[in-house]
């Protein structure tokens, strides 16, 4: 059955599977699964999905209802695993800063939920594109929390390691490209259906390459939690700030009193 697929598709599928397998094995051999447990889980689930797809295509063919349900059902699990990997990225970037994280995670999840809700509500083309709608909504959710985390990190000028940057880039680009790909096929089914698979696989291949570089950057770099500044700095820093703020308040109070209208 699989041999009925175009050779180019088969080659691309083989290449992405090999790249995924390489990344998965690389993470396990370098013990990076302790640092990136959810990304490892996602890659594992992705490989399992490939195995399941091969099995289903071989035994049931491409047109069977079982194939449709199995492939899109497994896709839901894969997207869920990727959403968890995205949350892991958010925590890696902001999780050390307890106060910032407490604010960021609530805002990010709220924004993600709003985007997800809007997509589901606005995209009403019946059951024909129901699966596409759910996928676009999920990808929008993932992309929102990844980009939101990057915005938070930039706003607070929190240092981000190269591995986290590449991981975030990969997650964000993957979701955005999937959204674009799904939107194109939903709108231009007739002209685009032949390209949809190829575009998706090439994009995923590029993302896997980014993640391989990310894992190479993470290799051998121990996790360092940010520490408070030495006591001497606080001793110098705190009186300076307090003095400046006290002066500011005093001046402000004087100005308010002087500026009040006279009776």
Partner 1 sequence: MSKAFFILVVVFALGLVALLSWIFWPGKKNRRRPDALAVLDSAPQHLCNMGAIRRSQDRADLQYLAQRGGNELAKRLHRERRVVAMMYLDSLRSDFEQLLRIARVVALLSPELSKSHEYERLRLSVLFRLRFQLVRARLLFGDAAMPELVSLGQMVSSLAIRLETAMETLGERAALAANLALQSNQ
Footprint of partner 1 (CB under 8 A): 96-100, 102-103, 119, 122-123, 125, 129, 132, 136, 140, 143-144, 146-147, 150-151, 153-159, 165, 168-169, 172-173, 176-177, 179-180, 183, 186-187, 226, 228-229, 231, 233-235, 237-242, 244-246, 248-249, 251-252, 254-256, 258-259, 261
**Local structure of 208: helix, strand or coil:** helix
Helices 65-94 + 130-156 axis angle, to 10: 10
- CA-CA distance, 193 to 178, in Å (whole number)? 14
CB atoms within 10 A of CB 109: 16
- Of 208, 194, 179, 170, nearest in space to 21 by CA: 208
Toward partner 1, which CB reaches closer, 34 or 122? 122
Token pair recorded at residue 55: 């099995």
Cβ proximity to partner 1: between 50 and 119 the closer is 119
Instruction: State the Cα–Cα distance between residues 81 and 197, nearest whole angstrom.
Output: 21
**To the nearest whole angstrom, how small is the minimum distance from the Cβ of residue 179 to partner 1?**
4
CB of 59 to partner 1, least distance (A): 33
Instruction: Give 220 or 259: the residue with its C-beta nearer to partner 1.
Output: 259
Q: Tokens 């594109």 appear where?
A: 129
Q: Are 50 and 204 in contact (CB under 8 A)?
A: no
- For partner 1, the closer CB: 66 or 241: 241
Least distance to partner 1, CB of residue 254, Å: 8
Helix (H), strand (E) counts: the chain: 8, 0
- Distance of closest approach, residue 176 Cβ to partner 1, in angstroms: 4
Least distance from partner 1 to the Cβ atom of residue 157, Å: 5
> Least CB distance from residue 77 to partner 1, whole Å?
23
Rounded to 10 deg, the angle between the 37-60 and 7-29 helix axes is 150
User: In terms of CB distance, is 50 or 138 closer to partner 1?
Assistant: 138
Given the complex with partner 1, which of 29 and 229 has the nearer CB atom? 229
């Amino acid at each position: 059955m699989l041999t009925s697929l175009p050779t180019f598709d088969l080659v691309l599928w083989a290449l992405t599977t090999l790249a995924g397998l390489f990344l998965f094995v690389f993470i396990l051999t370098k013990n990076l699964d302790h640092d990136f447990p959810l990304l490892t889980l996602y890659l594992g689930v992705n490989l399992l999905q490939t195995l399941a797809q091969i099995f289903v295509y071989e035994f049931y063919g491409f047109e069977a209802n079982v194939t449709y349900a199995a492939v899109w059902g497994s896709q839901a699990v894969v997207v869920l695993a990727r959403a968890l990997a995205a949350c892991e990225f958010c925590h890696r970037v902001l999780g050390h800063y307890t106060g910032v994280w407490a604010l960021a995670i609530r805002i990010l999840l709220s924004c993600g939920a709003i985007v997800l809700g809007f997509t589901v509500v606005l995209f009403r083309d019946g059951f024909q594109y129901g699966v596409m709608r759910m996928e676009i909504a999920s990808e929008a959710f993932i992309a929102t929390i990844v980009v939101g985390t990057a915005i938070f990190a930039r706003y607070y000028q929190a240092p981000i390691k190269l591995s986290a940057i590449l991981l975030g880039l990969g997650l964000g680009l993957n979701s955005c490209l999937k959204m674009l790909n799904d939107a194109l096929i939903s709108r231009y089914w007739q002209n685009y259906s032949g390209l949809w698979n190829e575009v998706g696989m090439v994009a995923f291949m590029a993302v896997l390459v980014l993640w391989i570089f990310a894992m190479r950057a993470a290799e051998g770099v121990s996790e360092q939690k940010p520490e408070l500044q030495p006591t001497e700095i606080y001793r110098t820093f705190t009186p300076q700030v307090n003095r400046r703020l006290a002066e500011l308040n005093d001046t402000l109070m004087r100005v308010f009193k002087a500026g009040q209208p006279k009776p």
